[in-house]
Amino acid sequence: MTGHGHGHGHGIPDDYLSGYAHLLEAVATTGRRLTRDEIQDRRTLGEQAAEAGYGLRALVGAHLAAARAHWPGTDSADSVLAAMEQAVDAFAEGYERAQRLAVRQEAAARREFIDDLLYGRSDLGRLAERAERFGLRLAHTHAVAVAEGAAAYDEGDAVPRAVERALISRFGDRSILLTTKTGRLVCVVPGDQDDEVLGYFAKQAFAATDGGRVAIARPRPGVGGVVQSYEEALNVLDLAERLDLDDPVLRASDLLVYPVLTRDRQAMTELVLSALGPLEAARGGAQPLIDTLTTYFDAGCVAAEAARRLSLSVRALTYRLERIHRLTGADPADPVHRYTLQTAVIGARLLGWPATTF
């Protein structure tokens, strides 16, 4: 039963049933069980059939059809059936082993591609070729969103799987890549779909991570665009942490002023020390007064609202603002002074001052 013909109407080449009829005949004659070598041969054929891409149901069907076609002329049906069971079980074991190996290899290739993609490693032309295998056309524009929760996530965890199911259910196969990196969820989509798909991803990720935070970067063109967009999303998450931003979904396009403010670190450092440095002379240090200014500015410079948020009386808040005025020479209620103080407060939070000394 060798050759390349297709056996018994199942579309399975006879190669994968090689020696099977002879095996049944030998067992029917002697009543013996399959030898270790015969079982290993079946396993090997199962591995080869899996690697060739044939389905297990069709392969088992071909074995049953071959057994019917070549049933030995014997009354010993029990022996033949036992041999069939042994042979098919060994064949399926080999098939499943090959499939597990293929899945591991595919997962390793995907992980390596994602690492290269998000870190900008590897030759860009080669990276673009590999990307098509995973549904991305890197010559086009792409946008990235990154979600983080209280826990760290791996690709196989329930949270990423739930988000991926929701995306596939809503959008089907739209060249969306969902993965994890350093415990966060990462979603890469074509730039012309970023608003719709990434907005939905943000909603699903927020729910699945039980109130996590999502950063949506701007679309960027070309092979290196994914890296730039990914890094921008990470910077937004870092910014949100430093500034204690409580919005669950943060768009880089809404926060462009902050990178501008910190681009010249030396100038920002000088502004912080010049405008806020005198607050270190206050009893309790500068931090409580910086927190007061932060809340005052976040409340739209409405004293009553700021006092409520700080659990202070309006009189106590007013006293703090007057103390800031005395120490710094800048009046938070004056529009010109206010801009300088507010910029310095943002700078202090971005630079981690006064906890970090310059």
Q: What is the pLDDT of residues 185-235, one digit of tens each?
A: 999 998 888 788 999 999 999 999 988 899 999 999 987 889 999 999 999
The pLDDT of residue 183 is 93
**Has residue 161 got a pLDDT over 50?**
yes
The pLDDT of residue 2 is 39
Tokens coding 312: 């202070």
Distance between CA atoms of 334 and 355, rounded to whole angstroms?
28
The pLDDT of residue 75 is 66
Own/partner contacts of 3-12, CB < 8 Å, gap of 24 or more, are 7/62, 7/65, 7/66, 8/62, 8/65, 8/66, 8/69, 9/65, 10/58, 10/59, 10/61, 10/62, 10/65, 11/58, 12/49, 12/54, 12/58, 12/59, 12/62
* Angle of CA points 147, 148, 150, to nearest 5°: 150
Beta strands in 99-242 (DSSP E): 142-148, 177-181, 184-190, 213-216
- pTM exceeds 0.75 for this model: no
- Write the pLDDT tens digit of every residue in 21-62: 889 888 888 888 899 999 999 999 999 999 898 889 999 999
The pLDDT of residue 1 is 38
**Has residue 276 got a pLDDT over 90?**
yes
- Write the pLDDT tens digit of every residue in 290-325: 999 999 999 999 999 999 999 999 999 999 999 999
Q: List phi, psi (to 5°) of 298.
A: -65, -25
Which among 5-9, 125-129, 180-184, 241-245 has the top mean pLDDT? 180-184
Q: What mean pLDDT value characterizes the chain?
A: 88
